[in-house]
Structure 1
Amino acid sequence: MAFRTSIFDLPMIHGLLWFPLLLVFVLLTALGWLERRRQNLFRVWAEDSELSKLDGSGAARLKQGMLSWSSFEAGRFQEQGNFEVTKLEMLELMALTSGEAPLTQESQGRCRLRLIGNGQEMDVPFADAEQARRWVDQLMARARCDL
């Protein structure tokens, strides 16, 4: 008994082997389109801002002395909070997951920027500690200029 393969069986097997690759391509294309849309919406949202950021934790902007931050949900930016920079008394970099522990100089990765002033405490999430450190310097400079 000899094994015989028809010429029509080979293209079907070949096509089935490439099908998962086609699905991955379609998925990556859709994710790329969503990221491009998020970046375009951010450009409109952050227009005329003195300072802005977009990362995996969300978006933030400083516009006319008001710091606002949002998360990207359901195809739009959802406002999470506001803080008036002229009321800023203190800024702290905090670890994201370890409660009230301040961020060390060596720490990298996700963190939060704690804004304290006018009887309020608010946290702005950051995906990158270096970017958060730059924001601390820039916000303190703006707060001193506005005072």
Structure 2
Amino acid sequence: MERGLLWLPLLILFIGLTWAGWNEYRKLEAYKVWAQQFERAKYDIYAVLGQTGQTLTWGKPTRQGPVNIQTLTFSEVQTIRLEVDRQPVAPATEKVRGRIALGLTTRSGQHQSIPFSDWEIAQNWFNYLQPLVTSGQALPQS
């Protein structure tokens, strides 16, 4: 009986890890379906992001698909910047600690943040989107 009680926490941990893995798998599968409509897309635990033509769309991943979806066109965006803990950071900065986000300020003055879990991925998206936002139009496809 005592041995059974000793193994019970491990069984509970195993069940919890199994459920967490299945939950993340379902989120990823829902993202794959959602991302098919975009030219470029990204998934991480904080947000999904897709770009097609002059439109940028992002939301929060769930098992049923992204929720809280927001959309902006490049012509609406005045500035784009990388942020750590809501403070602007130079794109050339090496590794950083804190909450990483791509900050978008619209011409009407609204500020939107798209969270990222990885600094390098955020830098890559910033480098890709900066010319699009500056010109207000999409780059030609190659």
Bin the TM-score by the shorter chain.
0.7 to 0.9
After superposition, the CA RMSD in angstroms is 2.3
**CA positional deviation for 1:55:** 1.4
> Structure 1 residues 19 and 30, CA, compared in 2 at 3 Å: closer, same or farther?
same
Residue 53 of structure 2 is aligned to residue 67 of structure 1: no
Contact 1:108/1:130, CA 8 A, preserved across alignment: no
Paired residue type of 1:146: A
Pick aligned residue for 1:21 from 4, 7, 10:
10
Q: May I ask how many residue pairs the two structures share in their alignment? A: 133
Q: Which of 1 and 2 has greater Rg? A: 1
Residue 93 of structure 2 is aligned to residue 103 of structure 1: no
Contact 1:88/1:116, CA 8 A, preserved across alignment: yes
1:90-136 Cα distance to aligned partner (Å, 9 max, x none): 2111222xx4x312413524312122343343221212222111101
TM-score, length of structure 2 as denominator length: 0.78
Pick aligned residue for 1:122 from 102, 106, 112:
112
**CA positional deviation for 1:30:** 0.6
Percent identity, please.
28
Structure of higher RCO (CA pairs closer than 8 Å, 6+ residues apart): 2
Distance, in Å, in 1 between the alignment partners of 2:8 and 2:138 is: 59
Q: How does 1:1-147 map to 2 (within 5 A)?
A: 12-73=1-62, 75-96=64-85, 99=86, 101-104=87-90, 105-109=93-97, 110-120=99-109, 121-143=111-133, 144=135, 146=138
TM-score, length of structure 1 as denominator length: 0.76
**CA positional deviation for 1:74:** 7.0
Contact 2:100/2:117, CA 8 A, preserved across alignment: yes
Distance, in Å, in 2 between the alignment partners of 1:48 and 1:82 is: 14
Distance, in Å, in 2 between the alignment partners of 1:74 and 1:49 is: 19
Residue ranges of structure 2 left out of the alignment (5+ in a row): none
**CA positional deviation for 1:89:** 3.5
Counterpart secondary structure, 2:59? strand
Counterpart secondary structure, 2:83? strand
Distance, in Å, in 1 between the alignment partners of 2:100 and 2:8 is: 41
Distance, in Å, in 1 between the alignment partners of 2:123 and 2:58 is: 17
**CA positional deviation for 1:19:** 1.8
Contact 1:67/1:85, CA 8 A, preserved across alignment: yes
Contact 1:94/1:114, CA 8 A, preserved across alignment: yes
1:16-50 Cα distance to aligned partner (Å, 9 max, x none): 22222111111111111000000001101111312
